[in-house]
């Protein structure tokens, strides 16, 4: 297997790549920023960055421990606090919308 662990196969100029299960798991988690990389800057900016990377956060109205969208952001930004969403909304950096469910999106 070549460096990096990705095997390449060529059939009639068709290129495919093969990943091990462990490599695929790592790729999926890293694409979701899990575990979170060491972050620089403020916690509010890191929360905004997480929302921007994910595209949107679905707001969950059920709160067994804490509402799920807070878990989503905390897992990507351990410094996250629910007040950060309030600040991002107040600063018009994100917006809340309703489309068969409520969500938060980045304001462009």
Q: Residue 5's pLDDT is what?
A: 60
> CA-based angle 23:32:104, to the nearest 5?
165
CA gap 70, 104 in Å, rounded = 11
Q: Residue 101's pLDDT is what?
A: 63
Give percent of the chain above pLDDT 70: 79
* 49: nearest Cα among 33, 60, 64: 33
* 45: nearest Cα among 76, 67, 8: 76
CA gap 21, 104 in Å, rounded = 33
Strands 56-58 and 102-106, bridge-based pairing: antiparallel
CA gap 72, 27 in Å, rounded = 18
Please give the full DSSP string across 70-93, using - where no structure is assigned. HHHHHHH-TT--THHHHHHHHTTS
Question: pLDDT, tens digit, for every residue of 28-73?
Answer: 999 888 888 887 889 999 999 888 888 888 887 776 778 888 989 9
Q: Taking 90 as the threshold, does the pLDDT of residue 87 lie above it?
A: yes
């Amino acid at each position: 297997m070549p460096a990096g662990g990705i095997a390449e196969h060529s059939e009639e100029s068709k290129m495919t790549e093969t990943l091990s299960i462990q490599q695929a798991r790592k790729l999926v988690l890293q694409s979701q920023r899990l575990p979170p990389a060491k972050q620089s800057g403020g916690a509010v900016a890191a929360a905004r960055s997480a929302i921007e990377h994910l595209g949107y956060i679905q707001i969950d109205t059920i709160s067994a421990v804490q509402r799920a969208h807070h878990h989503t952001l905390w897992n990507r930004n351990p410094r996250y606090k629910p007040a950060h969403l309030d600040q991002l909304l107040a600063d018009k950096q994100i917006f809340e919308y309703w489309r068969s469910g409520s969500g938060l999106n980045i304001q462009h």
